[in-house]
Amino acid sequence: MRNFIQQTFASLVGSLLGLIIFCGIGTTGLFLLLFAAATSKDTGPLVKDKSVVVFDLSMNITDGEPSSGEFLQKALSGVEDNRMSLRSILNTLEKARRDPRIVGIYLDATRTGTANPAGYASLKEIRQSLEKFRAAGKRIVAYGKDWEERDYYLSSVADTIVLNPLGLMEVNGLSSQPMFLTGALQKYGIGVQIVRVGKFKGAIEPLILTKLSPENREQTQRLLNDVWGEWRTTVGVSRKLNSQKLQAIADNQALLEAREAKASGLVDRVAYVDEVVTDLKKLTASDKKDKTFRQIDLSEYAQVPGKSLGVERKSKNQIAVVYAEGEIVDGKGDSGEVGGDRFAKIFNKLRQDDDVKAVILRVNSPGGSATAAEVMQREVQLTRDVKPVVVSMGDVAASGGYWIASDSNRIFAEPNTITGSIGVFGVLFNGQKLANDNGITWDSVKTGRYADTQTVSRPKSPQELALYQRSVNRIYSIFLNKVAQGRKLPEAKVAEIAQGRVWSGTAAKQIGLVDEIGGLSTAIEYAAKQAKLGNDWQVREYPQVSSFEERFFGRATEEARKALGIESAQIEPSNPLTAEFQKLQQEIAILQKMNDPQGVYARLPFNFKIE
């Protein structure tokens, strides 16, 4: 019996060792394959003379670069990740402007309607770079089949805009259609109690109302009017159309057929894509026998070294750009979230780094945990005492997103940035009716009156609600005080413009919440001047992503997948019904991220979107 046990144990150990060795060899082989694929590439893509850069407008535009985890997941899943960061796009367009080999840009708007989270503030900055490109004497051609306002906002900068003969152009204005969950919560017996400060704090309305409150409707209407007014002005200047005519088109036509779009001056030509390709062949001096014009994709051209063109900088003096993009949550947070503790550590490190001469806090966040925002804001304040801290607001920098921005040296925003929303709320759920309807009950034994206050088994009593309201009032008072001190405004003035109200960047500048209208590039230039760096500086981005990881897991994995004959999967655009289900999933996801230890939040209305 003893021998049997010994032999069995020895066999088991041997099998385990063999498995470990086999897996080790297999893993090593895979890594060697990937490494060989990565190192087999040239230093950069080949750019031929008279080339056109192709810019796919369905590209997913984000603020920061993807994390290594996201990069690996996308690479191994086979899903095509057509994504670039805003700063990478801006640098690439500037490089193309200076590059004598590049003669034009082709804006491909044939895949409109795909998921592109970029808002109008990001598009504004890209549009300005395209205008500089065109001002350099180079051509921009845009082609689409079904244009919506968002893609046309960029495309309208082109020298020539071409629409497919069967194509349509949507110019019907902007709208926001929030989803209300109140009826569903009531139907399934989920109780909701709210404590809040600020009559405009619409974040909680989807949980307690079935439609917009008058105050929320008022602020949403003004915000949409500001963004739509900027759209009409900007597009109108490029197309030589006054804003009144564009408003008349929106009110009377809304959806234009190709010939109507041309007659209205919105497009220059009605043609098929092969006719556009023929024209681009002439522009690039391509051979008639060539299948297409001489071109290079924007993301591929981004890999072309730009040192000789004066785009890339190399210096010991660093300007750190910290991307606070996503929901603000307590703790470290996951990818796509702004974890208060994690970002506080980043600022702590930058403050003590002598090579970092200035810091840009790029905010693209609707807010979230008030506790996490305060943890970050303290580190921003301490860093500001040592070196310049400049805020660049992206598409949205509101509520908790504004909290972390308020104590900086200077705040930049685009005209169509969504900001403000200085207000606080708490959401208290209970499942008493849901449970009781299914035969579940609770009982309680306690040693203090409020010992079971955190329970979800019942609604909160009036006395308990008073405790929560006191906490919310205290944090709101702290919020007002921080804004008043950081912005050097009387607290009475801040109280007047707060109340949870959201503002456009233009309106925020008028009331003192924003210092200047401008994008990320403008903020970086300002920081360099404040730090007295002249032209001797370079940008470093945080949270950092290893370039080796990008190359190893990105390019190498793609090469390995090609070698194995594995095709990339494509993400198809969703239909309208699917989009509504996705919106519901996003609402639920936000509730799951609400992890403030005090249950108090400074956040925009859930999934506020302009459509």
Tokens read off for 393: 């607001």
- List beta partners, residue 369: 601
Active-site residue identified among 124, 138, 201, 262: 201
Buried b (16+ CB within 10 A) or exposed e, 75-109: beeeeebbbbbbbbbbbbbbbbbebeebbbbbbbb
201 part of the active site: yes
Q: Three-class SS of residue 78? A: coil
Residue 148 and residue 172 in contact, taking contact as beta carbons nearer than 8 Å? no
Q: How far apart, in Å, are the Cα atoms of 573 and each of 19, 122, 123, 446, 512?
A: 43, 21, 20, 54, 40
Catalytic residue check, 482: no
Going by C-alpha positions, the residue among 493, 502, 498 that lies closest to residue 413 is: 502
Catalytic residue among 392, 399, 408, 504: 399
Distance CA 67, CA 545 (A): 6
Query: CB count, 10 Å around CB of 328?
Result: 33
β-bridge pairing 410-413 and 367-369: unpaired
Which residue, 149, 93, 113, 30, is CA-closest to 571?
Answer: 113
Q: What gap in Å lies between CA 373 and CA 534, rounded to an integer?
A: 33
Burial class (CB in 10 A: 0-12, 13-18, 19+), 42: exposed
Q: How far apart are the C-alpha atoms of 47 and 51, rounded to whole Å?
A: 7
Token couple for 96: 């193309």
Asked if 176 and 220 count as a contact pair (C-beta separation under 8 A), the reply is yes
Q: For the stretch 358-370, what's the b/e string if a residue is b when 16 or more beta carbons lie within 10 angstroms of its beta carbon?
A: bbbbbbbbbbbbb
The catalytic residue positions are: 201, 399
